[in-house]
C-alpha cells in the first residue's frame, strides 16, 4: 500500500472517533487525550453529594434564568445583572457571535467554535509569525491597529497553542480596545490552569466596570471537570448585552444537575483550589517527560493541554492513529484547525499522573 493510501486510511479511521465529539464513556478502556478537563476536582466530595440527590434532580424541573443567574453570581463573585448562564459556553458563544456586527479579530489557530458562528468575510485573522505560536498584547495591538476590527476575541490561555498573555498584557489590550471603541471578548475557560490562577481571572466586578464593553466567557466544563453538566457563564458590565443574552436562551437552558452544582459549589472552593494546584504540578511533570520524546516538539502551555509539533519519522495522523490502534489512546491530530500547516501538529490533554505515565510509555514504545 502506498503512503497516500495509508494517510487516507488514518484520516478516515480518526474521523470515526472525532466526529462523535464526546460520548467516549462508551469505550471504558480508552484514554481520552482529546477532551480537556480537570482530572482532580472530580474526586471531590461534591460528586458524592450530587449522587445523593440524583433521584430528586432527575424528577424535578430546574429553575429559570433568574435563579440560576443569582447562583452563578454567588459562585463567581459578580453582580447578578452582569452574568448569564449557558448550556455550556458553546450556547453563549453562538448567541454572542451571531449578533456581532462588523469585523471580528481572532488569533489562529483557535477554537473554531467562535469563527464558525459567522461568515468568513467578517473575520480578520492574526497568525503568530514564529514556530512556537507565541504572541503578546503588543503583537495584537500592532496587528489590529493596521487591520481594523469592531470586536477582538482572545482565548487566554489560547487553544490549541497554550500561549498565555499575563494579566498586565490583558489590561493593556482591554484599555486599547476601550480607547478605540472595540468590543473585547476574553475567553478564560482555561485560566484556572495557569500559574497564579487566582490573580489571573477578569471575572471581577471592578475589572468589568473598568472595561464596560468587555465580555468574559468561561466554560465550567474545563477547569471544574464536569463537561457532562453543560455549564458556562458570560460576564459583562454591559447590562443591555447581558439582558439580551438572557432573552435569547431558553428559560430552562440548563438542567437540574448543573443548577445543583452551582448551589453547592461554594462549599467546595478549597477542594477546587487544591485540585488546580495538583493539576499544575502534574502538567509540569508531564512536560518534563514529553520533552524526552525525540519525535515531538512541545510548546510551552499554561492550559490543560500541550500543542505538539510532530517530527519525522511520524506525521500527526499516523501517530494519532497508531496511539489509538495499539494503545487505545485518543489524541487530537488537529484535522480541522486553520492557521497551521496541515498534518504537522497535534494536541494532547494533560490528565492525572497515572494516565500521563501510560501516555509517555506508549510514546516511548513508538521511538524508532
- Residue 80 has a pLDDT of 97
Residue 310's contacts (CB-CB under 8 Å, 6 or more residues apart) are 295, 296, 316, 319, 344, 345, 346
Q: Where does the chain hold its CATH 3.40.640.10 domain(s)?
A: 45-267
CA distances to 53, 290, 295, 314 from 67, rounded to whole Å, are 19, 45, 51, 52
- Residue 8 has a pLDDT of 58
- Residue 188 has a pLDDT of 98
- Residue 1 has a pLDDT of 39
Going by C-alpha positions, the residue among 168, 159, 227 that lies closest to residue 193 is 159
Query: Distance between CA atoms of 182 and 159, rounded to whole angstroms?
Result: 22
Q: HSE-up of 312 (CA within 13 Å, CB side)?
A: 0
The answer to whether the beta carbons of residues 301 and 160 sit under 8 Å apart is no
Q: Is the pTM of this model over 0.85?
A: yes
The answer to whether the beta carbons of residues 109 and 335 sit under 8 Å apart is no
Q: What is the tens place of the pLDDT at every residue in 156-197?
A: 999 999 999 999 999 999 999 999 999 999 999 999 999 999
- Residue 6 has a pLDDT of 45
Kindly give the parts of the chain with pLDDT less than 50.
1-7
Cis upstream peptide for 109 (omega within 30°): yes
Q: What is the tens place of the pLDDT at every residue in 279-325?
A: 999 999 999 999 999 999 999 999 999 999 999 999 999 999 999 99
> How many other C-beta atoms lie within 10 A of the C-beta of residue 120?
9
Query: Distance between CA atoms of 70 and 67, rounded to whole angstroms?
Result: 5
Query: Distance between CA atoms of 323 and 330, rounded to whole angstroms?
Result: 7
Q: Where does the chain hold its CATH 3.90.1150.10 domain(s)?
A: 3-43+270-365
CA distances to 71, 209, 271, 335 from 266, rounded to whole Å, are 10, 24, 10, 39
- 45-267: CATH topology: 3.40.640
- Residue 336 has a pLDDT of 84
- 3-43+270-365: CATH topology: 3.90.1150
Q: Can you read off the three cell numbers belonging to residue 118?
A: 459567522
Going by C-alpha positions, the residue among 185, 159, 156, 183 that lies closest to residue 168 is 156
- Residue 2 has a pLDDT of 43
- Residue 63 has a pLDDT of 96
Residue 193's contacts (CB-CB under 8 Å, 6 or more residues apart) are 38, 157, 222, 223, 276, 279, 280, 283, 302, 303, 304
Amino acid at each position: 500500500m502506498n503512503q497516500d493510501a495509508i494517510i487516507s486510511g488514518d484520516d478516515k479511521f480518526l474521523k470515526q472517533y472525532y466526529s462523535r465529539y464526546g460520548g467516549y464513556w462508551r469505550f471504558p478502556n480508552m484514554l481520552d487525550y482529546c477532551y480537556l478537563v480537570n482530572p482532580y476536582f472530580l474526586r471531590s466530595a461534591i460528586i458524592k453529594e450530587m449522587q445523593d440527590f440524583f433521584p430528586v434532580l432527575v424528577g424535578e424541573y430546574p429553575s429559570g434564568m433568574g435563579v440560576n443567574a443569582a447562583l452563578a453570581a454567588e459562585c463567581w463573585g459578580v453582580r447578578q445583572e452582569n452574568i448569564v448562564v449557558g448550556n455550556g459556553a458553546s450556547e453563549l458563544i453562538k448567541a454572542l457571535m451571531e449578533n456581532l456586527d462588523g469585523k471580528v479579530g481572532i488569533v489562529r489557530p483557535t477554537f473554531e467554535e467562535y469563527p464558525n458562528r459567522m461568515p468568513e468575510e467578517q473575520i480578520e485573522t492574526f497568525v503568530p509569525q514564529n514556530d512556537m505560536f507565541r504572541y503578546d498584547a503588543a503583537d495584537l495591538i500592532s496587528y489590529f491597529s493596521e487591520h481594523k476590527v469592531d470586536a477582538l476575541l482572545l482565548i487566554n490561555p489560547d487553544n490549541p497553542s497554550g500561549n498565555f498573555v499575563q494579566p498586565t498584557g490583558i489590561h493593556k489590550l482591554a484599555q486599547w480596545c476601550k480607547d478605540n471603541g472595540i468590543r473585547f471578548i476574553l475567553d478564560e475557560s482555561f485560566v484556572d490552569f495557569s500559574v497564579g490562577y487566582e490573580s489571573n481571572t477578569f471575572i471581577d466586578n471592578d475589572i468589568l466596570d473598568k472595561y464596560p464593553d468587555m465580555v468574559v466567557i468561561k466554560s465550567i466544563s474545563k477547569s471544574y471537570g464536569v463537561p457532562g453538566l453543560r455549564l458556562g457563564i458570560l460576564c459583562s458590565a454591559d447590562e443591555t448585552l447581558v439582558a439580551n443574552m438572557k432573552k435569547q436562551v431558553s428559560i430552562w437552558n440548563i438542567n437540574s444537575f448543573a443548577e445543583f452544582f452551582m448551589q453547592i459549589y461554594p462549599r467546595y472552593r478549597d477542594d477546587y483550589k487544591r485540585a488546580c494546584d495538583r493539576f499544575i504540578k502534574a502538567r509540569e511533570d508531564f512536560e518534563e517527560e514529553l520533552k524526552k520524546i525525540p519525535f515531538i516538539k512541545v510548546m510551552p502551555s499554561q492550559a490543560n493541554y500541550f500543542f505538539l509539533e510532530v517530527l519525522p519519522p511520524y506525521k500527526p495522523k499516523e501517530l494519532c492513529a497508531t496511539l489509538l490502534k495499539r494503545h487505545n489512546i485518543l489524541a487530537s491530530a488537529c484535522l480541522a484547525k486553520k492557521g497551521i500547516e496541515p498534518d504537522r501538529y497535534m494536541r494532547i490533554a494533560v490528565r492525572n499522573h497515572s494516565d500521563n505515565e501510560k501516555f509517555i510509555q506508549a510514546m516511548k514504545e513508538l521511538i524508532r
